[in-house]
Structure 1
Amino acid sequence: MTQLGRLYPMLDSVTLPDNLPYTQVSTWELQFLYLVGRHVLTGDDRIVELGSGGGGSTYALALGLHESPVFDAKTGRLHAYDFFRVGKGTFATEKFFTGGTKPADDNSFLDDFKSRLEPFLPFLEIHAGDLWQTSDPDDHSPVEFLHIDIAKTARVFRCVSERFLTRLRPGSVVLHQDFAGPRLPWLHYSTGALLPYIEIAGPPIRSTLAFEVTRPIPEEVLTAITEDSFPYERKLELISAVQERIDRDHTGGIPFRSVLELAKAYVAHYDGRHRQAWSIARRLTGDEYLARTRADHFKQLRTAYDKEGSPLAKLVRRAVGR
């Protein structure tokens, strides 16, 4: 069992402040972040949060570090990355502002974030803006902890991989917060590629998959992840490998094998294989959890399939010159 696995029995013992900053992360995930900061991290290497949002997850992690017997706030640093503003491409919500809505003349909630995290500012280093601009391509220092809640697009995940995954070492801890998101299949097949070099801590904590690096990750594996160079069929195989390792989340509420099967449909969808995508997705429409929470996903995949048309419809269009 990894040191992360030993945290699961401690989840119910964690009581966090009632006035945590607004966050879209569940209480269980916040408790886990606190436990990682309190019992696992040392601050000897980089502690990185990618996608700090309104600050709830940052606060839970920082509180754990603050109460840790080994973390030295004079030398250790928690690096928080985010746009810290609302707008197109940021995936941020106006609820990240203190008043719950954006001021008429300001898209940035950075000042709100700093105010909420004020107790921890002495060891908090904030990087505001586009990750490609705020991360240093020449920084190769080891990363002790990486919380990934920012890889909503393949473009951003390439930056995450190129500038952060390459700095993982045996003992590094990674939390993928969006692992229950079928539209982000790069999280799933990249994890499949890493399986020989990591140990999954246990069932996902709601949407978060936690793992620890146990062996050095070969450069060619990291390059393939960064360049997204896996062939289509290989991506499906890698997701299948992850399906063999995890089933439901620790509460029993999220059926990850079904979620990952729908992620395979998005591998096909992004590859322009809309017929295959709908073929995979159609078999999942009877899944109670997916039908309740991912109806928009099914609609998107079916719409793409209908626009592409069946092979027979294509033949008919060719025959009539349309």
Structure 2
Amino acid sequence: MSNLARLYPLLDDVRLPDDMPYSQVSKWEQGFLYLLGRHHLTGKGRLVELGSGGGGSTYALALGLKESPVFDERTGRLHAYDFFRVGKGTFATEKFFTSGAKPEDGNSFLEDFQARLEPFLPFLEIHAGDIWQTSDPDDHSPIEFLHVDIAKTQRVFRCVAERFLPRLEPGAVVLHQDFASPRLPWLHHSTGALLPYIELAGPPVRSTLAFEVVRPVPEEVWRRIAEDAYTVDEKLELISAVQERVDLDHTGGVPFRPVLELAKAFVAHYAGRPQQAWKIAEPLTSDEYLSRTRKDHFEQLRKALEAERAKTPRPSAVIRFRRLVRKAIRR
């Protein structure tokens, strides 16, 4: 049993403040973050949150750390990374502003974030901006905890994979908050590559998969993940390996096996294989959960297939073209 499994029975009893900052993560995920800070993390290694948003997840974790009997606020640090602004490419919402809307004179909600997290500022280190600019490529200090809620694009995931993942040592805890997002298959096949070296905490907590590193990960594995050096077929096999281990989330509301199957379709889609992508996705259109929650995903894949077909000449047109060529040659 994972060391983290002991936290699951405590989830129902977590009572967080009513005035928690707005968050896009569920109360269950906030509760799990609180329990990690309160009962598991020590602060002896780096505690890193990638994608702090409006501060709801940060607050839950920091509150747990503050109430922990072993975390030392004088020496321990929680590192919060985010753009802390709304706009193209940030995946942020105007709800992260205290007023619930972006002010006319700026698009940064950093001051709002700092105000909400004021009780924890003595041990909170904020890194505002593009993660490629705010993270240090020469920092190799061990990471005890890594919350990944920022890898919405392959570009950002590469930074996570290059500068943060290789700093995980046995005992480190990782949370992938977007694990129920089929459009982010790099989270899924990278987890598949790590299965020999990690232990899953248990069923996902809503959309968050938690695991603990239990064996040293070879540098070659980190390199291949960072360089996206797996073939399409290898990625599909790695996701299949995760499907064998992950089924429903702990509430029974998210069926991860079909979710991960749809992630396979996006592996093919991003590789420029629309026919293969739709072949994987089409049977899933009858899945109740996916048809209700991922209609836009199916539409995206369907449009890609239609665009591919539009570029391919119809057989009759090809035949007519060949006849014209033969006539021209005979002349």
Q: TM-score surpassing 0.5?
A: yes
Q: CA deviation at 1:105?
A: 1.3
- The 5-angstrom pairing of residues 108-257 of structure 1 reads 108-257=108-257
Task: Tell me which residue corresponds to 1:107.
Answer: 107
Rg larger for: 2
CA change 1:114–1:317 in 2 (3 A) is: farther
Cross-structure match for 1:69: 69
Cα distance in 2 between the residues matched to 1:47 and 1:312: 51
| Partner deviation per Cα, 1:8-45 (whole Å, 9 max, x = no partner) | 00001100000000000000000000000000100001
Kindly tell me: are residues 320 and 117 of structure 1, through their superposed partners in 2, closer, same or farther at Cα, counting changes over 3 Å?
Answer: farther
Q: Distance in 1 between matches of 2:304 and 2:316?
A: 19
Q: Aligned partners of 1:228, 1:99: CA distance in 2, in Å? A: 41
320 and 78 in structure 1: CA distance in 2 versus 1, 3 angstrom threshold: farther
Encode CA deviations 1:126-178: one digit per residue, 9 max, x unaligned: 00000000000000000000000000000000000100000000000000000
Partner letter of residue 182 of structure 1? P
Counterpart CA distance in 2 for 1:22 and 1:311 is 46
Residue type matched to 2:32 in 1? F
SS in 2 for 1:267: helix
Q: Distance in 2 between matches of 1:173 and 1:316?
A: 58
- Distance in 2 between residues matched to 1:65 and 1:196, nearest whole Å: 30
Query: Which residue pairs with 2:89 in the alignment?
Result: 89
Distance, in Å, in 2 between the alignment partners of 1:128 and 1:312 is 46
Q: Distance in 2 between matches of 1:310 and 1:243?
A: 34
Aligned residues of 1:84 and 1:110 also touching (Cα < 8 A) = yes
**TM superposition shift of 1:224:** 0.3
- Does the 8 Å CA contact 1:37/1:63 hold for their aligned counterparts? yes
Aligned-residue CA RMSD (Å): 1.2
Cα distance in 1 between the residues matched to 2:79 and 2:215: 25
Q: Which residue does the alignment assign to 2:325?
A: none
* Distance in 2, Cα, partners of 1:160 & 1:4: 23
CA shift, 1:265, in A, is: 0.2
Distance 1:179 1:314 in 2: 40
Percent of aligned positions with the same letter in both sequences?
74
Tell me which stretches of 4 or more aligned residues in structure 1 moved more than 4 Å.
310-314
- The whole-number CA distance in structure 2 between the counterparts of 1:312 and 1:96 is 46
Asked if the contact 1:275/1:310 (under 8 Å) is kept, the reply is: no
How many pairs were matched up? 321
SS at match of 1:4: helix
TM normalised by structure 1 equals: 0.98
TM-score (norm 2): 0.95
- Alignment partner of 2:105: what SS? coil
Shift of 1:258: 0.2
**CA separation of 1:288/1:316 partners in 2, compared to 1, >3 Å: closer, same or farther?**
same
Three-state SS of the structure 1 residue aligned to 2:144 is strand
Match of 2:36?
36
Structure 1 unaligned spans of 5+: none
Task: Kindly report which structure 2 residues correspond to 1:6-25, keeping only aligned pairs within 5 A, or say none.
Answer: 6-25=6-25
Q: Distance in 2 between matches of 1:314 and 1:76?
A: 65
